[in-house]
């Protein structure tokens, strides 16, 4: 019969799978599982992070990006010294992106609830925290790109004309045309031509549409209405129905997201067709995510140090097409997780689980930004709240 020990000697022999190298904290390793879950939730839901210029911000409140304009070539006159172009080219300007305040999402986990729950509680909470941070992250970047599509170039030196942003109308002025696959395809080719004409690289061109627009393209192509090769020929059956069938239009890779500004809301908008509503019937029981109104995103709001616009600024927005240089995001603190422990856990009999990040976003090269609009009358300013008239800067 094995010897039975009691007291401190027995405690020392306990196998504590949560202790790091047999240390005194029996929960040390459990936190890593949670951290991984939170980061996974963020990575799987933030699509904008890898589609724009991302930089790490250290020891400062903002990050400077430099614009260099065009220069020209000229023939040399024999006997003349070469001391640089007489016009001082290329002109140079700057863009500064300021970090917003700390963005957080948190939850308190009561220890007794964890004990009584028949499912793994912290992992599920961690995913939702990651989703919340990713959602905000994407929304700010997409709003910044829409802003850039309405701006002139930062290069303003006399005698130099650099290209600015672009607004493309889907259709002829009816908001319902935002879901018309044929008109969306026309807008894509128009946008591709505009980007070519403004000297923007074909590398890294993408589009972000709302899910109904994305699936409209697939459904129309499947019905044989459009035969311009929008389907990935290797993706059939369930792969096509999942929304992964559309590869690209005019060399522009297509993504879908519920976080783009869409007729003054996020992702989609339901209701009667009008100049600012495409007239889609609500599927019902939406919860509080689908069709959320775009919040106030100006510097007057606590925590925001830039200008991301208000809901009314996106009254006719219905999609974004851009190249990687369109916007930049600076991260002072990347996605992280923090969990209370020790005396705090004892006093409250539970832990506060906190996901956090510190970032800021803004447009960089307006010429790389294209905003799709619909519903505004032909010749109107469209979405002009950021200070550019339609059609935007050529």
Q: Where are the domains of the chain?
A: 26-67+90-373
Mean pLDDT of the chain: 81
Give dist(CA 365, CA 266) in Å, integer: 24
| Residues found in the chain | 394
- Higher per-residue pLDDT: 107 or 142: 142
179-183, 274-278, 301-305, 369-373 — most confident range: 369-373
- Higher per-residue pLDDT: 25 or 339: 339
Q: What is the pLDDT at residue 233? A: 52
Q: What is the pLDDT at residue 263? A: 94
Give dist(CA 84, CA 168) in Å, integer: 39
Q: What is the pLDDT at residue 394? A: 44
- The two beta strands, 92-98 and 62-68, are antiparallel
| C-alpha closest to that of 362 among 319, 322, 311, 328 | 328
Q: Is 358 exposed, middle or buried (0-12, 13-18, 19+ CB in 10 A)?
A: middle
Q: Which stretch of 157-166, 251-260, 314-323 has the lowest confidence by average pLDDT?
A: 157-166
**pLDDT band, residue 380 (cuts 50/70/90):** low
The strand pairing partners of 329, in sequence order, are 54, 361
**10 Å Cβ neighbour count for 242?**
10
Q: What is the pLDDT at residue 229? A: 44
Residue 129 has pLDDT above 80, yes or no: yes
- Higher per-residue pLDDT: 298 or 176: 176
Fold of the CATH domain 26-67+90-373: phage-related protein like fold (3.90.1690)
Q: Is the pTM of this model over 0.85?
A: no
- Higher per-residue pLDDT: 63 or 290: 63
**pLDDT band, residue 228 (cuts 50/70/90):** very low
Q: What is the pLDDT at residue 116? A: 76
Q: What is the pLDDT at residue 209? A: 94
């Amino acid at each position: 019969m094995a010897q039975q020990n009691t007291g401190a000697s027995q405690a020392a022999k306990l196998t504590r799978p949560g202790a790091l190298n047999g240390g005194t904290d029996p929960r040390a390793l459990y936190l890593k599982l949670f951290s991984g879950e939170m980061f996974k939730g963020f990575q799987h839901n933030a699509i904008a992070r890898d589609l724009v210029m991302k930089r790490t911000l250290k020891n400062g409140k903002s990050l400077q990006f430099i614009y260099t304009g065009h220069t020209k070539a000229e023939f040399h006159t024999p006997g003349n010294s070469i001391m640089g172009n007489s016009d001082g080219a290329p002109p140079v300007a700057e863009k500064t992106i300021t970090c917003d305040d700390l963005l957080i999402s948190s939850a308190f986990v009561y220890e007794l609830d964890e004990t009584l729950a028949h499912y793994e509680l912290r992992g599920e909470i961690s995913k939702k925290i990651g989703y919340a941070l990713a959602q905000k992250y994407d929304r700010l970047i997409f709003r910044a790109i829409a802003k850039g599509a309405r701006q002139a170039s930062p290069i303003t030196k006399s005698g130099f004309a650099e290209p600015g942003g672009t607004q493309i109308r889907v259709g002829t002025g009816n908001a319902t045309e935002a879901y018309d696959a044929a008109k969306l395809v026309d807008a894509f080719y128009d946008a591709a031509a505009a980007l070519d004409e403004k000297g923007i690289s074909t590398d890294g061109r993408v589009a972000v549409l709302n899910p109904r627009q994305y699936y409209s393209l697939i459904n129309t192509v499947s019905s044989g209405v459009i035969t311009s090769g929008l389907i990935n020929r290797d993706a059939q059956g369930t792969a096509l129905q999942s929304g992964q069938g559309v590869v690209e239009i005019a060399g522009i890779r297509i993504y879908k997201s519920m976080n783009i500004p869409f007729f003054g809301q996020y992702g989609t908008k339901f209701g009667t067709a009008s100049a600012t509503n495409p007239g889609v019937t609500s599927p019902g029981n939406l919860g509080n995510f689908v069709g959320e109104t775009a919040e106030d995103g100006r510097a007057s709001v606590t925590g925001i140090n830039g200008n991301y616009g208000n809901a009314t600024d996106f009254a006719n927005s219905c999609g974004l097409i851009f190249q990687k240089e369109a916007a930049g995001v600076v991260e002072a603190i990347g996605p992280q997780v923090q969990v209370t422990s020790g005396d705090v856990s004892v006093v409250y009999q539970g832990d506060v689980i906190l996901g956090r990040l510190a970032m800021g976003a803004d447009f960089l090269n307006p010429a790389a930004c294209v905003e799709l609009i619909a519903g505004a009358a032909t010749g109107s300013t469209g979405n002009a709240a950021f200070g550019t008239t339609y059609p935007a800067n050529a």
